[in-house]
Amino acid sequence: MGSIIQNAANNFTTNGVITASGVNNTSVSAVTSLPSGLGGNLTLISSQTASSSASISFTSGIDSTYRTYMFKFINIHPATDGAEFQFNLSTDGGSNYNVTKTTTYFRARHFEDGTNGNLSYLTGYDLAQSTSSQKLALAVGSDNDQSCVGTLTLYSPSSTTFVKHFMVRIQESTEDNQSRDQYVAGYGNTTSAINAVQFTMSSGNIDSGTIHMYGIN
The string of pLDDT tens digits covering residues 46-100 is 999 999 999 999 999 999 999 999 999 999 999 999 999 999 999 999 999 999 9
Sheet holding 55-58, edge to edge: 55-58, 196-201, 83-90, 134-140
Residues 9 and 87 in one domain: no
Residues 1 and 97 in one domain: no
Distance, in Å, from the CA atom of 151 to the CA atom of 157, rounded to the nearest integer, reads 16
Domain enclosing residue 93, as ranges: 37-216
Residues 79 and 182 in one domain: yes
pLDDT band at 5 (very low <50, low <70, confident <90, very high): very low
Q: Residue 75 in contact with residue 211, Cβ under 8 Å?
A: no
Residues 16 and 70 in one domain: no
Residues 81 and 155 in one domain: yes
Nearest 5°: phi and psi at 126?
A: -90, 165
Return the pLDDT at 8.
46
pLDDT at 135 over 90: yes
Q: Residue 86 in contact with residue 135, Cβ under 8 Å?
A: yes
Residues 21 and 115 in one domain: no
* DSSP assignment string, 134-190: EEEEEEE--STT--EEEEEEEE-TT-SSS-EEEEEEEEEEBTTSEEEEEEEEEEE--
Residues 12 and 41 in one domain: no
Residues 20 and 109 in one domain: no
Return the pLDDT at 41.
87
Q: What pTM was computed for the model? A: 0.82
Distance, in Å, from the CA atom of 55 to the CA atom of 152, rounded to the nearest integer, reads 16
Residues 113 and 14 in one domain: no
Q: What is the CATH number of the domain that holds 210?
A: 2.60.120
Distance, in Å, from the CA atom of 141 to the CA atom of 145, rounded to the nearest integer, reads 9
pLDDT tens digits along 147-176: 999 999 999 999 999 999 999 999 999 999
Distance of CA 83 to the CA centre of its chain: 19
Residues 10 and 76 in one domain: no
pLDDT at 101 over 80: yes
Could you tell me which residue, 1 or 107, shows the higher pLDDT? Answer: 107
Name the domain count of the chain: 2
pLDDT tens digits along 200-217: 999 999 999 999 999 998
Residues 198 and 94 in one domain: yes
Q: Residue 202 in contact with residue 78, Cβ under 8 Å?
A: no
Residues 89 and 153 in one domain: yes
Nearest 5°: phi and psi at 10?
A: -70, -15
